[in-house]
Amino acid sequence: MDDVSKVLKRHAYITKTSTSLIYAILVSIAVNFFWTPGHIYSSGITGFAQLLTTISERFFPMTITTGVGLFLLNIPLFLLAWRAISRQFTVFTVITVFLSSLMIQMINPIQLTHDPIICAIFGGAVNGFGTGLALKNGISTGGLDILGIVIRDRTGRSIGSINIAFNTLIILAAGTMYGWPYAFYSALSLIVNAKVMDMTYTKQQRMQVMIITSRPNTVIDSVQNHLRRGITILHNAEGAYQHDSKTILFTVISRYEMGELEEALLESDPHAFASLSDTVKILGRFYDPMP
């Protein structure tokens, strides 16, 4: 059993490291092929690193490249993650940010186009896919992600307002440095980035599930063997067609868990009826396996 556990753990480490490399390549493509030629700023710490590069080019005798700036700006957040989250989380975050900085430095820009709209859309899409892929595999890309996890764990609140304020400053900086139309282009890139990331990373999207079954105990056992979710039971339901006795089960899952739910239902009651709908907001305890 210990050998199996070691193999699974090693496989998880290899998967995370490989995903870190893929993300690093994608973010370097977004920065070097689209954002930099189009004078577009990214969100978060990456955008701050781009801004630092622009300022150092114009006003400092030495240019601080985006790759170097990205790593340096993340160092205080690494220390915060080490103390407040976990060592394993911090190690993989350092690996991801280091590879991203390295790839941004190593991959030479290809001047595909200078059209700011094209650069905004495709840069945002490439980076959004990379970020979503990283989050889907349990990897943080550094930056405000770390601050968000710490604040969420300590206060139960998100840092949505902090994100909005920070990214608003980045957008205004783009307008100041390159002209105000580029503020709107950067905002467009942020929107595309967020939409593609949501399409790729579905773990944060909640769904309400209603299951109608005549085998409630079997279904409950199967679902809870596959998923760590609580279930509410409504007894004495009746089917309108054959007037047979039914039980209604309610739970909430993430969209990422839909496949496991379907597998659990097929194993326990292939004739069960299940309805899934998007949930706008959840109040109360909802298990989140992310750090």
Domain boundaries in the chain?
A: 2-200, 206-278
CATH architecture for residues 206-278: 2-Layer Sandwich (3.30)
What is the reported pLDDT for 122?
95
Nearest to 129 by CA among 192, 43, 197, 188: 197
What is the reported pLDDT for 135?
81
Reported for 260-264, long-range contacts at CB under 8 A and 24+ positions apart, including other chains, are 260/226, 260/227, 261/209, 261/223, 261/226, 261/227, 263/226, 264/219, 264/222, 264/223, 264/225, 264/226, 264/227
What is the reported pLDDT for 7?
67
What is the reported pLDDT for 200?
80
Nearest to 189 by CA among 48, 49, 30: 30
What is the reported pLDDT for 108?
80
What is the reported pLDDT for 280?
62
What is the reported pLDDT for 53?
92
What is the reported pLDDT for 184?
93
What is the reported pLDDT for 55?
92
What is the reported pLDDT for 159?
61
What is the reported pLDDT for 198?
77
To the question of pTM greater than 0.85 for the whole model, the response is no
What is the reported pLDDT for 165?
81
What is the reported pLDDT for 113?
85
Low-confidence residues in the chain, pLDDT < 50: 1
